[in-house]
C-alpha cells in the first residue's frame, strides 16, 4: 500500500481542478467470486485478488490527498448465508489484512475504523481490529472505514433502540428527535455522508448499504468486477462525479 503524497501529476492524470473531488467515497466491492469462477479459479482467489484492488484504491486516494474518507463494504450481515468455509476464509483474510497493513496505515497517517455488528466475528479479528484502531486514532490523514458484518436496516434498528432507551430514561424528549438525532446514533456518528457511491460488477442495487447516509450521494456503477478495479477506474468515477450537478433537491444555478 505504498503511495506518495499529493503531486501535481496526480491531478494532471485526473484532469480535474481541486475542489471537484468527492470528500467521502463509499464502495460496494462486488464480483470477487464471479471474477474467480469466470477464470475457473477458487472463489477464495477472487477475494485475495480483491485485496489488491483495495490497496490500489487507497493508494490513489492518499495520493490525491483531498479525499477525507473511504468506506469499503467488506462483509454484509446477509453474507452469513454463504458456505462456512468461505466465511472462515474471509475472516482469515480480514485478520491478515489488518495485521499486514498496520504499518502502512501508520506510515500514511490513515485513521482506521470499522463499523458493523461484532457478533459472529472471531476474537482474533476483533483483537487485531481494535489494535489498529487504537494505534491509528491520533493520525490526521484520510479515514479508512471498513464495513464488516454490516447491514443498514440493522444499523437503523440499533439506532432506534438507543433513541427509545434515551426517551424511556427521560434524557431525550420525543419532540426533539430530528435527523441529527438519528445520525448521531448510527454506527457512522461523527462521519460525513458519502458524496459518491461506487459499485462494481454491474449490479444496480444498494444491497442494504448506508441507506440513511447515501440519501444524496451520486451513484456510479461499473461492469468490472472488484478484482479488476484499479486507479484508472477510480479516476473515471471521479470525472463522472465532477460532471454532475448536485442540487440536493434545489434548482441548478
Identify the three-state secondary structure at position 253. coil
- Whose cell is 467470486? That residue is 33
* Chain position carrying cell 499486514: 100
> Could you tell me if 75 and 90 are in contact, meaning their C-beta atoms sit under 8 angstroms apart?
yes
The verdict on whether 79 is a catalytic residue reads: yes
Catalytic hit among 30, 32, 195, 233 = 30
Report angle CA 208, 214, 219 to the nearest 5 degrees. 90
Q: Minimal CA–CA distance to 195: which of 238, 152, 146?
A: 238
Up-side HSE of residue 232: CA atoms within 13 Å toward CB?
2
Q: How far apart are the first and last CA of the chain?
A: 41
Active-site annotation holder among 13, 32, 66, 79: 79
Q: Is 232 one of the catalytic residues?
A: no
CA angle 154, 156, 157 (to 5 degrees): 65
Contacts of 173 (CB under 8 A, 6+ apart): 167
Closest by CA to 25, choosing from 75, 67, 74, 65, is: 67
**Considering only CA atoms, which of 138, 58, 143 is closest in space to residue 97?**
58
Residues recognised as catalytic? 30, 79
Amino acid at each position: 500500500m505504498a503511495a506518495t503524497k499529493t503531486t501535481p501529476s496526480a491531478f494532471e492524470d485526473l484532469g480535474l481542478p481541486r475542489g471537484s473531488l468527492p470528500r467521502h467515497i463509499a464502495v460496494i466491492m462486488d464480483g470477487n467470486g464471479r471474477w474467480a469462477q469466470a477464470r475457473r479459479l477458487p472463489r477464495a482467489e477472487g477475494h485475495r485478488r480483491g485485496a489488491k484492488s483495495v490497496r490500489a484504491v487507497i493508494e490513489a486516494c492518499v495520493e490525491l490527498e483531498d479525499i477525507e474518507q473511504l468506506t469499503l463494504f467488506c462483509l454484509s450481515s446477509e453474507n452469513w448465508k454463504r458456505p462456512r468455509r468461505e466465511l472462515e476464509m474471509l475472516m482469515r483474510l480480514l485478520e491478515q489484512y489488518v495485521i499486514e497493513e498496520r504499518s502502512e496505515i501508520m506510515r500514511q497517517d490513515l485513521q482506521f475504523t470499522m463499523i458493523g455488528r461484532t457478533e459472529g466475528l472471531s476474537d482474533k479479528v476483533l483483537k487485531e481490529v481494535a489494535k489498529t484502531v487504537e494505534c491509528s486514532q491520533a493520525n490526521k490523514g484520510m479515514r479508512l472505514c471498513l464495513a464488516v458484518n454490516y447491514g443498514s436496516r440493522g444499523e437503523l434498528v440499533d439506532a432506534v433502540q438507543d433513541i427509545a432507551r434515551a426517551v424511556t430514561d427521560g434524557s431525550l424528549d420525543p419532540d426533539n428527535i430530528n435527523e441529527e438525532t438519528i445520525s448521531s446514533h448510527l454506527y457512522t456518528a461523527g462521519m460525513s455522508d458519502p458524496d459518491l457511491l461506487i459499485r462494481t460488477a454491474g449490479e444496480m442495487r444498494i444491497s442494504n448499504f448506508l441507506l440513511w447516509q447515501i440519501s444524496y450521494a451520486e451513484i456510479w456503477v461499473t461492469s468490472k468486477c472488484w478484482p479488476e478495479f484499479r486507479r484508472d477506474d477510480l479516476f473515471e468515477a471521479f470525472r463522472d462525479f465532477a460532471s454532475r450537478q448536485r442540487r440536493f433537491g434545489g434548482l441548478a444555478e
